[in-house]
């Protein structure tokens, strides 16, 4: 018996929907984290949908490098060979570098390295919030961080010990690095940058304007992951917000950030990085969660991680 063409089209549509749903269901979101005072080490959250987050409630890596030996702002990226690369703030001040370690399973980690990037500027006050970005087009990792070099830039609203600018290096193997270079100078103190690729020659930089009256998140736009960055926006979050990370869920980009004035993690979503909608009523983070980055892993990797850590995950919502 021949099937009506409309009926066949309906069957094909349902099959595509089913396969798409199964594909999404294989992925789990992980969110690197730490708890104050940041001396314990790397923590991690997980989510099945990107909205409801759960704490693994264990320390995966204890900090062992840096002047103060803390682990703040952990940024995690997976390379094309499957290796996970982690960088973090290793000290509040009096440090010319940041921490680094790698892992193939998120449980067993390489020996930690202290990657020195600002020794050529001996008056450098700090190296804060290194953020990893894997540039697929050039097969390289870009690492962006904030540092203060007193009297280097126009003072503006900030005192010399807090007048940050963004710097970067690139690497292919985390053994050799390009010379440190200025990444972004918008004419005011800036920290906490994350790079977002929307498409070929279409990038967004999400960052914190760290001037005293503002201390909130903005965006700027560029045609490469190294900029130049232009058209910086007005703040799209409230006062005393920082530590953005960006993940695309469905058609919208979701920006999660630390609302440290109110001691909560919050978020917004956007289609175009010009208008933003609050996610406050839709997301939930465990208490104590701080500045990290989101990445996706497949279901097999997630199950192996939970078995290795002997953790029973919460039941996935239907």
Residues 65-112 pLDDT 10s: 999 999 999 999 999 999 999 999 999 999 999 999 999 999 999 999
Residue 166: partners with Cβ closer than 8 Å, 6 or more residues away: 144, 145, 146, 182, 183, 184, 185, 190, 191, 193, 207
- DSSP 3-state of 297: strand
pLDDT recorded at residue 12: 47
- Answer yes or no: is 270 within a domain: yes
Quote the CA–CA distance of 141 and 205 in Å, as a whole number. Answer: 16
pLDDT recorded at residue 11: 45
Indicate whether this model's pTM tops 0.85: yes
- Answer yes or no: is 224 within a domain: yes
- Answer yes or no: is 284 within a domain: yes
- DSSP 3-state of 251: coil
Domain count across the chain: 1
Whether residue 125 has pLDDT greater than 80: yes
- Answer yes or no: is 1 within a domain: no
Place of tokens 């930089």: 205
Name the pairing type of β-strands 113-116 and 294-298.
unpaired
- Confidence label for 155 from pLDDT (cuts 50, 70 and 90): confident
- Confidence label for 25 from pLDDT (cuts 50, 70 and 90): low
- Answer yes or no: is 143 within a domain: yes
- Answer yes or no: is 9 within a domain: no
Range of the domain at 240: 27-308
Instruction: Give me the CATH number covering residue 235.
Output: 2.115.10.20
- Answer yes or no: is 314 within a domain: no
- Answer yes or no: is 97 within a domain: yes
Whether residue 250 has pLDDT greater than 60: yes
Sheet holding 181-184, edge to edge: 128-135, 140-148, 164-171, 181-184
């Amino acid at each position: 018996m021949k099937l009506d063409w409309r009926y066949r089209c309906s069957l094909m549509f349902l099959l595509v929907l089913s396969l798409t749903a199964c594909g999404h269901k294989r992925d789990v979101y992980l969110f690197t984290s730490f708890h104050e005072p940041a001396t314990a080490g790397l923590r991690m959250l997980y989510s099945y949908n990107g909205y409801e987050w759960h704490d693994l409630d264990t320390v995966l890596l204890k900090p062992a490098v840096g002047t103060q030996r803390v682990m703040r702002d952990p940024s995690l990226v997976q390379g094309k060979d499957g290796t996970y690369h982690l960088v973090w703030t290793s000290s509040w001040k009096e440090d010319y570098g940041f921490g680094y370690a790698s892992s193939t399973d998120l449980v067993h980690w390489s020996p930690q390295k202290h990657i020195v990037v600002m020794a050529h500027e001996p008056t450098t006050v700090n190296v804060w919030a290194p953020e990893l970005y894997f540039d697929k087009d050039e097969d390289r990792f870009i690492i962006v961080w904030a540092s203060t070099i007193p009297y280097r830039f126009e003072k503006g609203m900030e005192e010399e010990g807090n007048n940050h600018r963004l710097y970067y290096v690139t690497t292919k193997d985390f053994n050799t690095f390009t010379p440190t270079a200025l990444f972004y100078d918008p004419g005011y103190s800036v920290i906490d940058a994350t790079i977002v690729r929307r498409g070929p020659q279409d990038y967004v930089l999400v960052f914190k304007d760290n001037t005293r009256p503002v201390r909130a998140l903005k965006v700027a736009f560029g045609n490469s992951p190294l900029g130049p960055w232009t058209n910086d926006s007005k703040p799209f979050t409230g006062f005393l917000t920082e530590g953005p990370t960006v993940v695309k869920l469905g058609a919208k980009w979701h920006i999660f950030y630390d609302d440290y004035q109110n001691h909560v993690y919050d978020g917004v979503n956007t289609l175009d990085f010009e208008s933003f909608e609050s996610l406050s009523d839709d997301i939930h983070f465990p208490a104590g969660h701080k500045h990290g980055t989101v990445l996706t892993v497949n279901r097999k990797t997630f199950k192996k991680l939970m078995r290795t850590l002997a953790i029973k995950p919460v039941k996935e919502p239907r």
